[in-house]
Chain A
Amino acid sequence: MVTLQHTWIPYLYLYGVGGLFFLVGMIIIRKSGSIDLRRKSHRMWNRVLIFGFFWFVVMHAILTYAALNW
Chain B
Amino acid sequence: MDTFHNIGTSTDWIVMVVYFMAIMLFGSYFGRYTRNTADFFFGGRRFAWWLIAMSIVATGVGSHSFVKYSAKAFEHGFSSSMTYINDWFFVPFFLFGWLPIIVYTKVRSIPEYFEKRFSPSARFLATILLMLYMIGYIGIGFLTLGKAVLPMLPEAMTMLGTSFDITLMRAIIVIAIITGIYITFGGQTAVIFTDLLQGFILIFAGLFLFALGIDYLGGFNIFWNLLPVEWKLPLAHYNSPSSFNFVGIFWQDGVAGSIGFLFMNQGLIMRFMATRSVNEGRKAAAVNILFMLPISAIVVGNAGWIGKAIAVADPSVVSPNTSPDQIFVVVASIVAMPGVFGFIMAALTAALMSTVDTLINATAAIFINDVYRPTKQFLQRKQKVKTVNEKKELFAARIASIVITATGVLAVLAFKNFPTVYEAHGFFHSTLTPPLVVAIFLGVFWKKFTPAAVMATFIGGVALMMLGARYPGVLIAPFDHGIVMNPDHPYSYIRALYNMLMCFGVGVLVTFTTQIQKNVVASFKKIGNHRQIGYGIIGLNVVLFVMIALNTGSFSFLMSAAIFIVLTVPVMVTYFGHYDEAYHTVGLTSWTMETARERFKGSKVNDREGEIVDLNWKIADGDGDIVRLSENDMKRMNANIGDLLYLCDKRKWLGGLKSIHVVFGTPHAEDGTIYITDEQQKGGMFVTGRLLTAEKEM
Contacts and interface: CB of A to CB of B under 8 A. Distances in A.
Interface of A: 2, 5-7, 9-11, 13-14, 17-19, 21-22, 25-26, 28-29, 32-35, 39-41, 45, 48-49, 52-53, 55-56, 59-60, 63-64, 66-68, 70
Contacts of B255: 21
Contacts of B224: 70
B204 interface: no
A45 B224 CA distance: 38
B57 to A, nearest CB: 18
**Central interface residue in B93, B96, B100, B294, by most chain A CB within 10 Å:** B96
Interface string B250-263: 10001100000000
A39 to B, nearest CB: 7
**Central interface residue in A33, A34, A59, by most chain B CB within 10 Å:** A34
Contacts of A32: 445, 589-591, 593
B218 interface: no
A10 B255 CA distance: 15
Nearest to A41: B279
A56 B290 CA distance: 8
B181 to A, nearest CB: 40
A68 B229 contact: yes
B230 A10 contact: no
Contacts of A19: 89
Contacts of B235: 6-7, 10-11, 14, 60, 64
A52 B78 contact: no
Contacts of A45: 95-96, 282
Contacts of A7: 233, 235
Contact of B89 (A22, A39, A48, A67): A22
Given A6-B230, A41-B279, A34 B590 contact: yes
Interface string B561-600: 0000000000000000000000000000111011000000
B96 A2 contact: no
B168 interface: no
A46 B236 CA distance: 31
Contacts of A33: 591, 593-594
B233 A52 contact: no
A35 B563 CA distance: 39
A2 B233 contact: yes
B239 interface: yes
A35 B96 contact: yes
A19 B255 CA distance: 12
Contact of A9 (B100, B238, B289, B290): B238
A63 B78 contact: yes
Contact of B92 (A2, A10, A26): A26
B593 A34 contact: yes
Contact of B250 (A18, A25, A60, A67): A18
A29 B91 contact: no
Nearest to A29: B96
Nearest to B94: A25
A8 to B, nearest CB: 9
B237 interface: yes
Interface residues of B, number: 43
B608 to A, nearest CB: 11
Chain B contact residues: helix, strand, loop or mixed: helix
Contacts of A66: 232
B250 A56 contact: no
B691 interface: no
B250 A6 contact: no
Contacts of B445: 28, 32
Query: Shortest 9 CB-CB distances between A and B: which pairs?
Result: A25-B92, A67-B232, A63-B234, A10-B246, A10-B235, A29-B96, A34-B96, A5-B238, A18-B89
Interface string B594-613: 10000000000001010000
B95 A49 contact: yes
B673 interface: no
Contacts of B96: 29, 34-35, 45
A26 B445 CA distance: 12
B247 interface: yes
A56 B85 contact: yes
A2 B79 CA distance: 14
Contacts of A34: 96-97, 100, 590-591, 593
Interface in B386-406: none
Given A13-B247, A13-B250, A67-B233, 8 more contacts: A14-B246, A22-B92, A26-B92, A32-B590, A49-B92, A53-B88, A55-B290, A66-B232
Contacts of A21: 89-90, 255
Contacts of B590: 28-29, 32, 34
B59 to A, nearest CB: 20
Given A32-B445, A52-B286, A13 B90 contact: no
Contact of B78 (A5, A39, A53, A67): A67
Nearest to A53: B88
B86 A14 contact: yes
Contacts of A64: 233-235
18 contacts: A6-B230, A6-B236, A6-B238, A10-B235, A14-B86, A18-B86, A19-B89, A22-B90, A28-B92, A29-B96, A32-B591, A34-B96, A40-B609, A45-B95, A45-B282, A55-B88, A56-B85, A63-B233
A70 B233 CA distance: 11
A35 to B, nearest CB: 5
B652 to A, nearest CB: 20
Nearest to B609: A40
B237 A6 contact: yes
Contact of A10 (B100, B247, B279, B591): B247
Nearest to A42: B96
Interface string B500-524: 0000000000000000000000000
